Structure 1
Amino acid sequence: MQKTLLLLFFLVLWTSLNAQINITGLVQDEAGHPLEGAVVSLVSDGTKEKQNAISDANGRFGLAVNKDKHFDNLLVTYLGYADYHVRLENVVHDLYLGEITMLPVERTMQEVEVVGQREIQKIDRKIIIPSKFQLKAATSGFGLLRNMQLSGIRLNTIDNTIRTSTGEPVQLRINGVKTTVAEIKSIRPHDVLRVEYYDMPGARYAGAAAVIDIIVRYKERGGNVSGDLTNGISMLGFGEYQLSANYHEGKSELKAVAWWNRRDLKWIRENTETYHYNDRTLTNREIGDPTKAKFNNFDFSLWYSYAVNKSVFSVIFRDRYNHVPNSTTDRISTLYTENKTYRINDFMRTHDNSPSLDLYFHTMLPHQQTIYFDLVGTYIGSGSNRKFTLFETGHNDQDFVSETTGRKYSLIAEGIYEKMFNRSKLSFGVKHTQMYTKNSYSGTIENLVKLNTSETYLYTEWLSKLGKLTYTLGLGVMRIYNSQANNSLSSLIFRPRLSLAYNVTNSLVIKYTGYVSGYAPSLSNMSDVSQDIDIYQLRRGNPNLKAVTFVSNSLSVDWATKWLNVGLYGRYSYDHKPIMEETLLENQRFVRTMNNQRGFHRINTRIDFKLHPFGDWLSLQVTPFFNRFISNGNHYTHTHANWGMRGQLLAMYKQWLLAAEMETSQHSLWGETLDKEEASHNIALGYNKDKWAVQLVVANPFTTLYTTEVENLSRIAPANKLAYSRNLRRILMINVSFNLDFGKAKTAGNKRITNTDENTGVLHGR
């Protein structure tokens, strides 16, 4: 009996000592969106003992506290938001704190550095918090992305592009809104709270290679006026100018962005073409003269948004106008062939205008449910005029003239439903695109082409977590329909998806993504029309093209330490029956056309080394890469391998910035065309203050020529086309930016989906 009582006594004592109280809650921003990565701390006044937890992807957190422990305060912190404090008294049972709403910090954070984990690895993305030095050294959102040195991302300051390491375009967003490079440049760096980098995007991004979403805070009863102006000093034909303004009053926000990008320079082209006829072989060699290339690109966008409670409505008007009086493919050259000499003039003018209206709405429902709607209408009007002249002294000129006028109308509608659970998320989505195109071709050949195109995509996706393993299962189906005259195409493509992420340790993460996707033929390739290229060749559309199935498998390993980050990335992808070129000989003319070929394989690998021995003061990134391509046509097989290296050095001290970057030539093979991009390097020295900044940039200072090369590997009509310019090397540029800020910071509601249509659908003879 005494043993039993003694056992019961110790059991009661052990239970009382180990009894736990669970404190739970949900952290969200003022727009009602969950905040992932918030630090939740229990703090004792007397002993200063602390216990921490981190909010998950749904904003939820949980703390288990032994009853014998005594904590007086709960503190929630998140970079860019004011601390949230709760006084705890007489807590003896489980406590649910409900929804904790974080408000943006009202004071300036320029002199405050929050040290902690700046990069959070998730299954489909990395959440990265920029450091104080990275923010100070940037004059725009574009510059901030450069300073953050995102793995697998290439920023080109010459042509203002953001691409993956494999050359694919990156989908850009601001607070979830699909946006443009011009609007990224309008971002004030100190308004950036975090950058969400989707290196393995989910099903809702519909095949995007990568997504960069910059989360920013806006103004309350005030706004911002900013400018970013770049002009060449050694070459006055280089200019880029951006102005933006935003104003916030109560629940409303108004924002405008204008951007002008111009080039005026000269190219020289050298072409070698060989034509294998049935009874003879002809080789042409062209030596080019300096030829003018000039273009002006204008972008304008006007945003209005209204946020109330947990709903956001926005209207965005965008207009893009491109005017190219002198195409970059223009040429004045001397042609040497069959002991004869000819002169060639090949000039082309193009323009297009694409206004669009975007209506967006999202609302949060009870029980962690959210609905998103987006409707976009776009009109694209385009025109081009090309004249090719081949002349010989004492003989009649041979002219080919073509004029095209294009009209395209499109409507894109998308809806998404999301439901959050404790450690999981369920999504459903549907997207429909309807397009009508009417292109008129006149000149040497006349034709009228009308195309109707529609694409419907439905998907569902489940994300969940099991211990250290996070997984995503997705299933989608896409229907594609095209019709032109009496020809029509209808196909159904299933799009399954699997993503896995395993946290081996806090510093080692392994990710895998595999999916099946598809794409339809472009409208220009489906045009039932032919266009003369020159006296030897013509380009022809193919209305019988079929949709393509695409398969991708990616594996990445990321390892991070205090001074060194290493990332390994590998990807194998395959296009089944891809739409690639082929060349035919008909009536002594070589026809360049497109067809569904057998298959295309690509292997992309890279290793990222990021060394930061002195914190953010000095950062060095080196990325060796290897790409392998195998192009299997119906009547050809081509392979190509490309080794290369990219590097970037950033040094920051107080208000000063020194940046240097280099990249070897990036090659890409598709069909029978091998593109070899230019090798480039740049050096920048800048000085930044709170409201203004100035930078001197030297582009390609250690090269004599800026060169690109294109090879056509056709068996019957191979060609090599070399283009180079002395205007695009040793360019000294000055960049001046300013920010005039007024009002208090406030986070606006996030727009999560936006759709755009920018393809004119016109077939050109070149």
Structure 2
Amino acid sequence: MKKTAAIALIQLSFAVQAQETPVKDSAVQTQEIQEVVLKAQHKKQYVDKAVYTFDQNALDKARYAADLLKTLPELQYSPIDNKITSTKGGTLLTLINGIEATELQIRSIQPQNVVKVEYYDNPPTRWASRADTVVNIITRNPETGYVWGADVSSALTTGFVNGSAYAGYTQGRNDFGLEYSINLRDYDNRKVRKTYEYLLNGNEYQTLENRKDHFGYTDQYITLRYTNQLADRYAFQAKFNMEILTSFNRSAGQNVFSVNNEAEDHGTSIRNGSSYAPPTLDLYYSKNFGKKDEISFNVVGSAYETSSYETDKEWKRSNGESVFDNDMKLKAKQNSIVGEVAYTHQFDAGKLSAGYRIANNHVSNELNNLSGYSEYTVNYLTQYLYSEFSGKKGKLGYRAGIGVTNIHNNSSVTTENDWTPNPKLVLSYTIAKNQSLRLTSDYTSKSPWADALSSNIVQTVPNIYRTGNPYLKPSHVFRNNLVYSFNNKYFDFNLVPFYNILYRDITQFYTYSAQLNGYALTYDNSDYTRQTGLQFSGSLKPFGNDLLVIKPYLQFASVLLKKTDGTVIRNQYLRNSFTLSSEYKNFSFQYQFNIPSYTLSGAFLNTNENQNHAFASYKLSNWTLMTGFYWIGMPSEYKTKSLSESVVNYSSHTQIMNNKNMFVLGISYDFAKGKQNNIHRKLNNDTAPAVTF
């Protein structure tokens, strides 16, 4: 399939103040903070977050702040991605004193400078549309010092490399930072098996495709950052970053194509790729008015061009006659702007937060595909006005918010204008010192993504196509959770029954196309999708320390999808993952595994990626040596199958054989002298990712 890329955003942002008073600088305060770190309870549950502190032993064993994060019950280190992830999945947003941070920024923070970590499993209004989980690292704010470091890990027998380097310097109010990271993948043995069965014009068709792929990508990030701040007065930050991405795929295979049980052998060839390098400028400013009021502004901008191509060919092996020849090329230019302004005021009874965000993305496309050459533009506008008040009375804590979202999408064929109210309520009741109940409920809207709205068309096999749907409408999501939290020396877990309804849920189905005289895999709005179930996540420490930590994640769900034609599709599944870790002096070990399960997506069931990874590290002064085996005894594997409600009986089985028993070695070096200057930034925005198809 072809990836077309192009979305460059110019974001304006102004955001809301974090709910904690900024950490101030003084020798006295530093001493007080250290006493809190040593004496405070490890976890304290609030209405909207859990706050974690760390004892001296944990601080001494950690190399940097990221090592502290992976000790949280619902967070883990992913060796494949080389970053901290949530055991529950979904998007994790990491902040340093309220400002969005990268993995490398987290590495630049020495553990002794971490005061506490705020963990939001139900993010506040200003972050709710961007992340499923938010982690805010609160640090001390010293005035001088420098840090630098680098790391690299690589497989010995295949193309798998993760590398990064960072440097930072702080002098008085001024802070400078430079970061670089690279992730390279180059696999030459991906096996793909696909089957299609369907009726068309009174004939029975069957396609059995087997192919071998050589694919990969190189993803590089460069960030340059400057900060100037005066504690409790103002903060200014200018940040420039660029992502440089190139990807490719080369496939060769064969296809047994049958019509009414009469088969013929076909040869197949697929070549596709994409490239883009979006530069992004991020400007941030916040101003305090006394001790109770603050206003923040943020501007982020990006403009770039994306190029992508896809060439799919199929021919009869007997005589070389062409069956189909799909040649698609796309160039897209994107200019976008996102803006947010936020204001906070601290009352005696609680905190009021309010803000406004606007995002406008404009994309100009030059497309050459099965329908010929075309030029068209699309524009996506989203506005979000919100307010929120949080407080506590006795054992009852509360956070109530109201907002409104306007989504205005203008494509080459239609215009969609959607206004949605966004109420939100969080209630928390403290049962005991280590137990609490939280009720969360919210109603949000979600715009269709760019490739889902695309009118592009590509052919995959005879009579089968893939396309977007420019007539898609935004979906509306009504989520409800009841969270029981418990923690002591041995246990720290959440038990969550949930009930969610996704109105106009966006799903994929095969539909008959008279224009193509075949079936097209496209997106459509269902009537609704209903999800009910029970989720368990957390950590177990049998010895009451980090010698052995078990982190299970289990989610049982029952899903009902109702299409607009009245068709009802049901599915039940048990998602799961398990992480076992051990730390002893300078040694650490971690093992991750799961049992893949099928989850419902439109008329299809898809498995999540399998895991069976073991890795270890040893810390020696500023050096860390790492090694690991990934996908032990198995390749990485992905399966899809259609349900009986699909007009095309489809299945696929993909295996990346290069990953099987992949042995990786790595080394890192981290050095710090003095301490870094971290600001409390209240607005965090980013430009939209490149559009791909």
TM-score (norm 2): 0.90
Corresponding residue for 1:468?
395
Output the CA distance in 1 between the equivalents of 2:218 and 2:281.
23
Does structure 2 conserve the Cα–Cα contact (< 8 Å) formed by 1:418 and 1:425? yes
Q: Compute the displacement of 1:361 (Å).
A: 0.8
Corresponding residue for 1:174?
96
Output the CA distance in 2 between the equivalents of 1:756 and 1:730.
37
Residue 232 (str. 1) matches residue 155 (str. 2):
yes
Q: Report the AA paired with residue 685 of structure 1.
A: A
Q: Compute the displacement of 1:167 (Å).
A: 3.4
Q: How does 1:355-394 map to 2 (within 5 A)?
A: 355-393=279-317, 394=319
Larger mean CA deviation between 613-622 and 307-316 belongs to: 613-622
Output the CA distance in 2 between the equivalents of 1:601 and 1:162.
30
CA separation of 1:732 and 1:491: change in aligned 2, threshold 3 A: same
Q: Compute the displacement of 1:606 (Å).
A: 2.1
- Give the match's secondary structure for 2:461: coil
Corresponding residue for 1:281?
204
Corresponding residue for 1:209?
132
- Give the match's secondary structure for 2:278: strand
CA deviations over 1:666-685 (Å, ceiling 9, x no partner): 54322223220222122222
Out of 495, 501, 506, the position equivalent to 1:568 is 495
CA deviations over 1:559-608 (Å, ceiling 9, x no partner): 11222233212322211112222322224311222222211122353223
Q: How does 1:305-320 map to 2 (within 5 A)?
A: 305-309=227-231, 310-320=233-243
Corresponding residue for 2:609?
678
Q: How does 1:691-730 map to 2 (within 5 A)?
A: 691-701=622-632, 703-713=633-643, 715-730=646-661
Out of 540, 559, 570, the position equivalent to 1:611 is 540
Q: How does 1:359-438 map to 2 (within 5 A)?
A: 359-393=283-317, 394-397=319-322, 398-438=324-364
Structure 1: runs of 5 or more not aligned: 1-32, 37-56, 60-77, 85-101
Corresponding residue for 1:331?
251
Q: Report the AA paired with residue 355 of structure 1.
A: P
Does structure 2 conserve the Cα–Cα contact (< 8 Å) formed by 1:82 and 1:106? no
Q: How does 1:318-717 map to 2 (within 5 A)?
A: 318-326=241-249, 331-338=251-258, 339-393=263-317, 394-397=319-322, 398-445=324-371, 446-485=373-412, 487-587=414-514, 588-608=517-537, 610-612=539-541, 613-635=543-565, 636-701=567-632, 703-713=633-643, 715-717=646-648
Output the CA distance in 1 between the equivalents of 2:365 and 2:144.
48
Output the CA distance in 1 between the equivalents of 2:202 and 2:439.
54
Q: Report the AA paired with residue 579 of structure 1.
A: I
Corresponding residue for 2:5?
none
Does structure 2 conserve the Cα–Cα contact (< 8 Å) formed by 1:137 and 1:657? no
CA deviations over 1:332-380 (Å, ceiling 9, x no partner): 2221122211111112111122111111011211251111111111224
Output the CA distance in 2 between the equivalents of 1:350 and 1:513.
41
Which one has more relative contact order, counting CA pairs under 8 Å at least 6 apart? Answer: 2
RMSD over aligned CA atoms reads 2.7
Q: Compute the displacement of 1:515 (Å).
A: 0.5
Corresponding residue for 1:739?
670
CA deviations over 1:609-648 (Å, ceiling 9, x no partner): 5222242333222333313322222244322222243222
Does structure 2 conserve the Cα–Cα contact (< 8 Å) formed by 1:186 and 1:243? no
CA deviations over 1:159-211 (Å, ceiling 9, x no partner): 44655555321222222222344544555545433222110112111333211
Output the CA distance in 1 between the equivalents of 2:59 and 2:199.
58
Identity of aligned residues (%): 19
CA separation of 1:229 and 1:103: change in aligned 2, threshold 3 A: same
Corresponding residue for 1:294?
216
CA separation of 1:578 and 1:114: change in aligned 2, threshold 3 A: same
TM-score (norm 1): 0.81
Does structure 2 conserve the Cα–Cα contact (< 8 Å) formed by 1:380 and 1:760? no
CA separation of 1:183 and 1:671: change in aligned 2, threshold 3 A: farther
- Give the match's secondary structure for 1:521: coil
Output the CA distance in 2 between the equivalents of 1:142 and 1:106.
20
CA separation of 1:523 and 1:684: change in aligned 2, threshold 3 A: closer
- Give the match's secondary structure for 1:568: strand
Q: Compute the displacement of 1:547 (Å).
A: 1.9
Larger mean CA deviation between 294-303 and 569-578 belongs to: 569-578
Q: Compute the displacement of 1:311 (Å).
A: 0.6
Output the CA distance in 2 between the equivalents of 1:138 and 1:278.
66
CA deviations over 1:240-292 (Å, ceiling 9, x no partner): 00100000011000011100000111211111111222412212112233x21
Does structure 2 conserve the Cα–Cα contact (< 8 Å) formed by 1:257 and 1:301? yes
CA deviations over 1:425-447 (Å, ceiling 9, x no partner): 01111001111111211144322
Corresponding residue for 2:4?
none
- Give the match's secondary structure for 2:284: strand
Q: Compute the displacement of 1:124 (Å).
A: 1.4
Larger mean CA deviation between 706-715 and 155-164 belongs to: 155-164
Does structure 1 conserve the Cα–Cα contact (< 8 Å) formed by 2:144 and 2:676? no
Corresponding residue for 1:29?
none
- Give the match's secondary structure for 2:69: helix
Larger mean CA deviation between 303-312 and 134-143 belongs to: 134-143
Output the CA distance in 2 between the equivalents of 1:531 and 1:142.
43
How many residue pairs match? The answer is 663
Corresponding residue for 1:245?
167
Q: Report the AA paired with residue 356 of structure 1.
A: T
Larger mean CA deviation between 248-257 and 709-718 belongs to: 709-718
Does structure 2 conserve the Cα–Cα contact (< 8 Å) formed by 1:126 and 1:197? yes
Structure 2: runs of 5 or more not aligned: 1-15
Out of 200, 203, 206, the position equivalent to 2:122 is 200
- Give the match's secondary structure for 1:114: helix
CA separation of 1:653 and 1:380: change in aligned 2, threshold 3 A: same
Q: Report the AA paired with residue 409 of structure 2.
A: N
CA separation of 1:571 and 1:401: change in aligned 2, threshold 3 A: same
Output the CA distance in 2 between the equivalents of 1:666 and 1:524.
26
CA separation of 1:749 and 1:140: change in aligned 2, threshold 3 A: closer
Output the CA distance in 2 between the equivalents of 1:460 and 1:278.
56
- Give the match's secondary structure for 1:205: helix
Q: Report the AA paired with residue 648 of structure 1.
A: T
Larger mean CA deviation between 745-754 and 501-510 belongs to: 745-754
